[in-house]
Amino acid sequence: MATSLAGDNASLGFACTVVAVVRLRNRIRVAIAFGVLPILLGSGATPSGELSGPPVPQPGYHHLGATSDGTWSGVLGRLTVEDPSVRAGTFDFVATRFMAKASTDTGVKWLEAGWAETGWADPGTQRIYTYDTNTDRWTFYDQYPVKAGDQVWIEIAAASTGPDPVWNAWLWWHDSWHLLTSQALPISEHATIEEYVEVYVDPVHPGSIAVPPVQVDNVGLKPDPKDPPQPWSDAIPTAAGDGADGYCLDFVVPYSTWRAGTC
């Protein structure tokens, strides 16, 4: 039975942490703070293989889900955690996440948040994470432990307006919202939104990853920063993905409820 970490009523609350990051060559970044901290992983985290660091989440992997054709100020939804067969000591990963992104003169900029299991950082464990193009790092939040069968609510939303507004990633945890990260991004307050189960197989270690069907549901889009989410329905212009290479994608209620995984 799935264990839901959600509540019925949401009121935003801020979680503040003072962090100092010590960079160690060819090692995982160590964060020192007053309290429990996220773990930052940049290009220095190197398991077996020839890659220089964890892969950047980006197009080119197995992307199972949908992308908005228009732009929105936020996305909210519930992600079910599962246990994929990610291989330890590789750069394999499976992530179920939302993303807000836009193309700029210097490339695509984005913020994403969800849960992931990776082969290079505590393999065999599912973890809440964020990734953003300001830091270009995976950040894991082990103060919010999750496991297969849990359901977590994630929101990514613009908190201000203008050319470089702040975008926040939130986690609903034990009856309150917890701020995962705030990033000023050059994507305006209206961005393209993605909802995906993302599968990456380390090319240095050919093989495959079995992914139990992962469900995403109750997904809504925010038209403007101060607006509540509205259901991501098939009335909203959307570029929907397809299953491929042994992975299936089923839009049960396009595009607010769907599942993806190994066929």
Domain boundaries, the chain: 3-262
Neighbour tally for 42: CB within 10 Å: 16
Answer yes or no: are the C-beta atoms of 192 and 71 closer than 8 Å: yes
* Tokens linked to 46: 């190197």
Report how far residue 258's alpha carbon sits from residue 261's, in angstroms, rounded to the nearest whole number. Answer: 11
β-strands 150-158, 3-4: how paired? parallel
- From residue 60, alpha-carbon distances to 31, 57, 93, 177 in Å are 31, 9, 13, 32
Kindly indicate whether the domain formed by 3-262 is annotated with CATH number 3.30.70.260.
no
Please name the residue ranges forming H helices in 107-194.
Answer: none
Tokens of 85: 């067969």
What b/e sequence results for 155-165 when a residue is b if at least 16 CB atoms lie within 10 Å of its CB, and e otherwise? bbbbbeeeeeb
Count of Cβ atoms closer than 10 Å to residue 126 Cβ: 25
Q: What are 91-122's pLDDT values in tens digits?
A: 999 999 999 999 999 999 999 999 999 999 99
pTM, to two decimals: 0.81
Predicted pLDDT of residue 33: 27
Residue 44 is predicted with a pLDDT of 34
Tens digits of residue pLDDT in 114-170: 999 999 999 999 999 999 999 999 999 999 999 999 999 999 999 999 999 999 999
Class of residue 16 by CB neighbours under 10 A (exposed 0-12, middle 13-18, buried 19+): exposed
Mean pLDDT of 13-19: 28
pLDDT > 50? residue 50: no
Q: Which carries the bigger pLDDT value, residue 5 or residue 246?
A: 246
Measure CA 100 to chain center: 10
For the four alpha carbons of 240, 152, 159 and 39, in that order, the dihedral sign comes to negative
Whether the per-residue pLDDT at 84 is higher than 70: the answer is: yes
Section 172-182 average pLDDT: 96
Q: Go through the chain and tell me how many residues it has.
A: 263
User: How many percent of the chain have pLDDT more than 90?
Assistant: 73
Burial 46-72 (b: 16+ CB within 10 A, else e): bbeeebebbbebeeebbbbbbbbeebb
Q: Which two tokens stand for residue 213?
A: 């069907």
